[in-house]
Every structure is written in structure tokens, then in C-alpha cells.
Structure 1
Amino acid sequence: MRGLIVEAGQADSAQLVDDLPEPDPAEGQVLVRALAVGICGTDREIIAGEYGEAPGPDGRLVLGHESLGRVLSDDSGRWQPGDLVAGIVRRPDPQPCRNCAAGEWDMCRNGRYVECGIKQRHGFARERWRTEPDFAVGLDESLAEVGVLLEPASVVAKAWEHIERIGARAAWAPESVLVTGAGPIGLLAALLGSQRGLDVHVLDRAESGPKPDLVRRLGGTYHTGSVCALPFEPDIALECTGAPVVIANVISQVGPNGVVCLAGVSSGGRPLSLDVAELNKEVVLENNVTFGSVNANLRHWEAAAAALAAADHDWLSSLITRRVPLTDWRDALTHRPDDIKVTLTF
């Protein structure tokens, strides 16, 4: 069986192999034929050897955590052959913490969880994979061409759920949302903001290419330049760049009772001069909240599937800027200026 693997922790060790064994039944009762996997920065970082943990002593890790496939068989009887599904990435730790035991494995407290294609469990970049019945998520048949977006959409669905939970602390009727960063996470965040009837604004560095048009097609406003130059104070902000200067400016820009969700991961390395006292005063006096969010649990995956089904499928398809055959995986991993989401197809 063919699959894309790395030697975990070894830089530039990625290779396409054809000697993978069939998925171990211990991985789950549901056997799935792969249709596509999405490529993101996490995959590139694992290939660079920055992190990634193999499930076994041979050091091999099958890549791929953004999945789409069709069920071949299910010994549990829950799923039928031909069903369109994606596999949930994270699994709770074997001796579950309080959150993992409650199905909130995205909020694991002890860090012993495993993640497909990332940490101690093989991923989905292979011709066939297995999952437990409760960790497969069904997709509407209309999403057969774009369902690979479900994993990043689940991350956004969780972020929006937490934003709304925090906002409910007061009489809150948000009207506007600012999204910084127009990558897949940012654009899907904008989509879910649009579905909530909010005035959507997206800020990104790109002055041309597909991103401005994608935002306009949502009914949103596209911005370039500095956050501080924006002529309004958003009620909600989703920061998806991880850039320190942008983070600080977003926290400062949000309006009274505002909620800021940090969904981008910073690479670090560059010191930032920041008046923490002034920023603290703004946050305290305006009752603002800033929080971080990552990963997703089952209800977020299901909410994301519903959001994708309700979206304009042509718009979703436009997010996938390149569909690359598995045999050309090196090309898929080479970032191009106009890339938004690149997928490997099987």
C-alpha cells in the first residue's frame, strides 16, 4: 500500500513508499479508502523535523491529518460502504484526564493524547486507513469535492463556540468581526462569521491573487496594511497569523466587551517592544477577553460539517487552489504565492 511517511524527528526524511502494511485493525473497526488529504504548515514542520512522534519503534510516521475518504467496511455496523467521512485527528489519552473522559479531548490537561499524522498515531496520507466508529464524521454527499476542508473548519467551529460562550457573560449583540490572516483558517473563520450575519472584515498582506475576491464573495470587506489603521473597532477578532505585532494590535483594536480569539501559532524569535501597561489598561477598562484555541472535539466537527454543507460549494472549491496527485507530493509541499489550500489526491 502506498503512503507518505517521515522518519519522525529527522529533517527532510519524507518519502512516498509502496510497502506500507494494511491498516492495523487495532486502529479501528472502520476501514476507509482515501480520497484526499490536505497539506498545511503542520505537515511542513513535521517534514522539517521540528516535531512529530512515531507510533512504533521503527520511527515511521504516516503523514496527513486533514482527511477525506469513503467507507469500505465497518465491523460495528454504524457506517455503510460508500459513506463519505473524515477522520477526527485527536484521540483522548489512555488514562483520561477530566476533559478527555468527558469527550472534551481538545482541552486535554495532561498532554497524553495522540493525534493522527502528528503524534504517536499514523495519519491519513495512505491509500487506506482505519478509525474508530465514534471518530469518523459523516459528510453530505455534496461535499465530495471539498470535504477535505472539514478539519480546518472544525478548528474554526470550536473557536466560534468559545467566542459565543464568552460573549454570553453579558448582554451581547455583536455586529462585526475582524479576521487577520486569509489562509484556510482565516477564510473559514470569515465564512462562519458571515453565516452568523456579522459584518465581516478580513486583513491580510496579499494585495492581489484569489484572497480579496474570496472575501468579497462572502459579502465581506478585504483590508491590507496595519490593524491600527482600520477605521472601526470590531466586536470580535479572530487572529490567525500568529504574528506578534498583529496579535498586539488586534488586542488593542477590539472594541468594548470585545472578544479576541488567538488561532494562529507564533514562530517566535523576534523581540517585540510592547507597552504592556497600556495594553493591560485597555483590556481591563473595556472588559475585553483574549483567549487561545486549538483543535476540536466531536461536536465541533459536526458543526463544521453542517457549516460546510450550508456554504456556497463553489466558494469552498475556490479555497482549494491546487489538487496534486499523491505521486507529485513534493510539488504539493512546495508553497506558491497564491496557494490557499493544497490537497493530495488519491
Structure 2
Amino acid sequence: MRALTFVPGRKGTLDVEEVPDPRPGQGELLVQGLAVGVCGTDRELDRAEYGWPPPGRERMVIGHESLGRVLEAPEGSAFSPGNLIVGVVRRPDPEPCGACARGEFDMCRNGRYTERGIKEIDGYASERWTVEAGYAVRLDPSLESVGMLVEPTSVVAKAWEQIERIGSRAWFEPRRLLITGAGPIGLLAALLGRQRGLEVHVLDRSPAPGLKSSLVEELGGTYHSSSTLEAFHDAKPDVIIECTGAGQLVIDAMTTTSPAGILCLCGLSPGGRTHRVDAGVINRDIVLENDVVFGTVNGNLRHFRAAAAALAEADPGWLERLITRRVPLSRALEVFEPADDDVKAVIDLTA
């Protein structure tokens, strides 16, 4: 079968090649790969910024935003041939930390977890793949063309779970939400915000309105094209979900929430840049207003299930518009060069 593979730690090694067909082990599903989404993590792996191959091997299959259809299922599992599924990305280490042992492997303490397509386990960018039944999530059939969005939505589902847990420390009825960044994570965060009945604002640093602005407006949100948070200094949001990783926006967001506000950091900032910061102002604002700033990454099985449920409730046409490029597996390398108008690029594993 064909698969998209690379050598972790070496640039220019990404290629479509023939690899042996997978054989399901005990308790595993055999799956026909339908599609895989490509995100910034995949492009960083291609640039050899990180990545760890399976033990004893040089090359590995990339891809963590999966979508497939069950071909074979073990007897007694919750799955049947024909089911539409996605595979969870992360696995706890063989000697799990306290969090991993309790199923919270997205919050691993010792760093010895593994991840499909990223760290020591083959990913999902192949014509067939296997997955343990306990790490698979069945999807509504309506998600057949957009199910690869479950993985990025799981990151957002976890963010919302954590926001709501933090808010429950006291009276919490948020009304105004600000998302900084209008990429897939930002737009999906806005979707889940609207599903919670919030007034949603999305700030994008793009110079002019276009597809992203129309996607925000179709949700019933308000789109802002700006590189600063000046427009929110008077009417401050109760919750900010920061998805750009832009250093100055991160800093400004810390003092732009309402009292007892919550800032969730989802974007990753590049190192090596410095910003002028009045640490005293930030400290006073957070302390005197009982604010919370926290970071989040990855998702566990619970978050994948929540993501699948959220997408099943969404407008299928809106989800379809998030996918701006679909290329066949034979041309997979094309999507590792992002286009200016990209939102989400997808590789079709059946073509």
C-alpha cells in the first residue's frame, strides 16, 4: 500500500512510498484510510524541528488528523465494518504517570507518552492503518467528508472543558468571547463558543476580509482585522482563546479580560523574540481581578468524543468550507507548502 513517510530529524525526506500492509493485532481495528488533515505540526515535522521514529526504524508514517472506515473489527468491540472513525493521537507510556494511569494522557507529567505520526508510532497518512479499539471514536455518517476535523476540534474541546472547570470556582456566566487567530483552531473555537450561546469575536491579523471573515459571520460572530486588542479595551471579553502565538498579542491579552476573566493559550510562540513588558501592570491586573491564564495542548479520548459530537451538531456546509484544499495522496507534498488563502488542507488517501 501507499503511505506518506519521512525520516524524523532530517529535512527533505517526506515522500509517498510503498510500505507493507498493516496487520491488526489483538483488539485492533483494520481501517481503510479516507483522508488526513495537515497542520502546522506536520509542517514542523517536515522541517525536522522535532519528531521521533519508531524504535529500530528510520522512517515513519506521518499524519495525526485521521479519518477512516472500519474494514475489520474484533469480536465484542463496539465497532463494525463500515463504521466511520478517527483514531486518537496520543498514548500513555508503558509505565504511566499518575495522569496517564487515569486516562488523562493529554496531561502527561513525565513526557514518555507516544503519538501517532509524531513520536515513535506510525501516523494515519496511509491507505490502510490499524488502531486499538479503545483509541478509536465512531463518527456520525454526516461527517464523512469533514471527519478529519475531529482532531483539531478535540484540542478546542479540551480548552473549553478547562475553561468551564476554571470558571466553576465561582459564579460563571460568560457572555463575551474573543478568539485571536482565524486559522482552523480559532474558527473551531469560535464554533464551540457559538454552540455555548456566547457573543463571539474573532480577531485576525490578515489585511483584508475574505473567506475567514465570511466563516465567522456565518456563525453569527463578529470579525475584526487587526494586529492589536485596542478595540477590546473598553468592552472586555470574559474569555479569550489565543490561537496565534504572536508574542505581543499574548502579552496584551493578559490584561484585556473582564474581572475574573480567563485567558486560554492555544498558540505556540516562536523563541528568540523579545517584547517590552510592564510586568507590574500584568501582575496587578491578574491578581486584583482574580484572572486566570493557562495553556493547553492535545486531547484525550473524552475530548475526541466531545469533538465528534460538536461537529455532528454543526452546519455541514460551514465545516466543508473550512477545507480549502484537497489533494490526492500522489500529490501530498503540495500541501506542505501553505497557500495564502488556506484554512485547512487535506490529503485524500483514496485517490
Same fold by TM-score greater than 0.5? yes
Where does residue 248 of structure 1 map in the other structure?
Answer: 251
What is the aligned length?
345
Q: Tell me the alpha carbon deviations over residues 95-121 of structure 1, each in whole angstroms, 9 at most, x when there is no partner.
A: 011111100000110111000000000
The one of 297, 304, 313 aligned to 2:307:
304
C-alpha separation in 2, matches of 1:26 and 1:39: 27
Where does residue 283 of structure 1 map in the other structure?
Answer: 286
C-alpha separation in 1, matches of 2:26 and 2:17: 20
C-alpha separation in 2, matches of 1:261 and 1:24: 41
The one of 307, 314, 318 aligned to 2:317:
314
**1:248 Cα shift?**
0.6
Where does residue 63 of structure 2 map in the other structure?
Answer: 64
Any residues of structure 2 matched to 1:2-13 within 5 Å, and which? 2-13=2-13
**1:291 Cα shift?**
0.3
In structure 1, the gaps of 5 or more residues are: none
- The residue identity in structure 2 corresponding to 1:211 is K
C-alpha separation in 1, matches of 2:23 and 2:58: 16
Aligned residues of 1:71 and 1:80 also touching (Cα < 8 A): yes
**1:28 Cα shift?**
5.6
Aligned residues of 2:85 and 2:138 also touching (Cα < 8 A): yes
Q: Secondary structure at the match of 2:177?
A: strand
C-alpha separation in 1, matches of 2:333 and 2:114: 26
Aligned residues of 1:228 and 1:249 also touching (Cα < 8 A): no
Aligned residues of 1:86 and 1:136 also touching (Cα < 8 A): yes
In structure 2, the gaps of 5 or more residues are: none
Aligned residues of 2:93 and 2:100 also touching (Cα < 8 A): yes
The one of 246, 252, 265 aligned to 1:262:
265
- Are positions 1:176 and 2:176 aligned together? yes
C-alpha separation in 1, matches of 2:63 and 2:180: 26
C-alpha separation in 1, matches of 2:14 and 2:178: 37
Q: Tell me the alpha carbon deviations over residues 252-285 of structure 1, each in whole angstroms, 9 at most, x when there is no partner.
A: 1111000010001111221111111111111111
- Are positions 1:163 and 2:163 aligned together? yes
Q: Tell me the alpha carbon deviations over residues 284-322 of structure 1, each in whole angstroms, 9 at most, x when there is no partner.
A: 111000000011111111111110000011000010011
Show structure 1 runs of 4+ deviating over 4 A: none
Aligned residues of 1:27 and 1:130 also touching (Cα < 8 A): no
**1:330 Cα shift?**
1.8
Q: Tell me the alpha carbon deviations over residues 38-85 of structure 1, each in whole angstroms, 9 at most, x when there is no partner.
A: 000100100111111001323111100000000000124421001000
TM-score normalised by structure 1 residue count: 0.98
C-alpha separation in 1, matches of 2:211 and 2:69: 30
Any residues of structure 2 matched to 1:75-224 within 5 Å, and which? 75-78=74-77, 79-206=79-206, 207-224=208-225
**RMSD over aligned Cα atoms:** 1.1
TM-score normalised by structure 2 residue count: 0.96
| Cα distance change on mapping 1:145 and 1:27 into 2, 3 Å | farther
Aligned residues of 1:321 and 1:341 also touching (Cα < 8 A): yes
